[in-house]
Amino acid sequence: MLAVLRFACAYAAGFSGAAAGGHLGSVVNSWDARYIISGREGLYPLGVAYNDGYLWLSYGSHLLKRCPSNGSIVKVVHTPERTYDDIGYDSARGYIYGSLSWYYIGITEANTGRLVGSFRVPPGAEGELTITFSREAATPLWIATPVKPVIWRLTDDGRIVSSYVPQFPCYYINGLAYAGETPVGRVLFAGQQYMSVPSRVFALRPRNGSILYSFVSPLPQNSLSDLTWDGRYLWGIHAVWARGPAYIYQFVATTDVAVTPSSIGRIKTMYR
């Protein structure tokens, strides 16, 4: 059965040519990401991370490994003594980094759910954290909180390397995703959701937060919550707090057109 699932989950990651066609924000795939448990309405996804052809989603005290193509569940990992919201995946060690609370980030062994470490977030970063992890980056861990317009760069054991204020028009960073290989170089994607303002995705230069470009999120109802990069596309969770489906969306976030200084200037002017 596992062999069948592996075949069904075969997924070609890695950037190839022009993002796959379509304009920025074009939806490639989507499916209901609830974790349906017998006799219950279902658990809603809180965070998402990509690794080696699979998506990992957090559901509080459950971590699920799922097929990107259709959401089929490959593995369920229980973490009953703790609750995770946003998550990031350390591919080198098979660890999942997740926000244990407003004050601590936990490190969990993905395949067993065993807690192997934790550390306190930097001063000022307390809150509903969003996390991304990438061994391609000079510093692998990036965190932000919706209540303060700052992005922190950390080592894998939580030591602060640097922080900066991205050039956003307002607060509420609701998702981070590091992309190591795109037509415009390395990119840190940041999702923004703020009340009635349409959700946007910003492509930032990782080292200083300057804006390369941005586009309107394809997720409905200003509902963007957490992001992850699969090597070719972004994935975003549709945050809902009522009964009904909770979709995760895969969408185009890069183009094969290099961003010129003049176009960057126009983008900055649009969102001052």
Looking up residue 187, the CATH number of its domain turns out to be: 2.120.10.30
Residue predicted with more confidence, 141 or 20: 141
| DSSP 8-state code for residue 21 | S
In a domain, 196, yes or no: yes
pLDDT at 262 over 60: no
**184: confidence class by pLDDT, cuts 50, 70, 90:** confident
* φ, ψ for residue 254, nearest 5 deg: -135, 160
Residue 263 has pLDDT above 50, yes or no: no
Q: Is 232 contained in some domain?
A: yes
Q: What is the mean pLDDT of residues 152-156?
A: 93
User: Torsions phi, psi of 180, nearest 5?
Assistant: -85, -20
What does the pLDDT read at residue 99? Answer: 86
Q: Which residues of 143-177 are buried (b: 16+ CB within 10 A; e: fewer)?
A: bbbbebbbbbbbebebeeeebbebbbeebbbbbbb
Instruction: Decide if 130 is inside a domain.
Output: yes
Going by pLDDT thresholds of 50, 70 and 90, the confidence category of residue 13 is: low
User: What pLDDT, on a 0 to 100 scale, did the predictor assign at position 129?
Assistant: 87
* pLDDT tens per residue across span 101-147: 888 999 999 999 999 999 999 988 888 889 999 988 778 999 998 77
Rg (CA), the chain: 17
Segments forming the whole domain that contains residue 210: 2-11+31-270
Is residue 18 in a domain? no
3-17, 84-98, 168-182, 257-271, range with the lowest pLDDT: 257-271
Helix (H, G, I), strand (E, B) or coil at 270: helix
Residue 49: is it exposed, middle or buried by C-beta count within 10 angstroms (0-12/13-18/19+)? buried
Q: How many domains does the chain have?
A: 1
Share of the chain above pLDDT 70, in %: 80
Structure confidence by residue, pLDDT tens digits, 28-71: 999 999 998 766 667 889 999 999 999 999 998 899 999 999 99
136 backbone dihedrals φ, ψ, rounded to 5°: -75, -20
pLDDT recorded at residue 181 = 80
More confident residue, 42 or 88: 88
Asked, for residue 158, whether it belongs to a domain, the answer is: yes
Is there a domain that residue 99 lies in? yes
Confidence of residue 90 (pLDDT cuts 50, 70, 90): very high
Residue 106 lies in a domain: yes
pLDDT digits (tens, 9 = 90+) for 210-248: 999 999 999 887 778 899 999 999 999 987 666 677 899
What pTM value is reported for the model?
0.86
Instruction: Determine, yes or no, domain membership for 24.
Output: no
136 or 93, higher pLDDT? 93
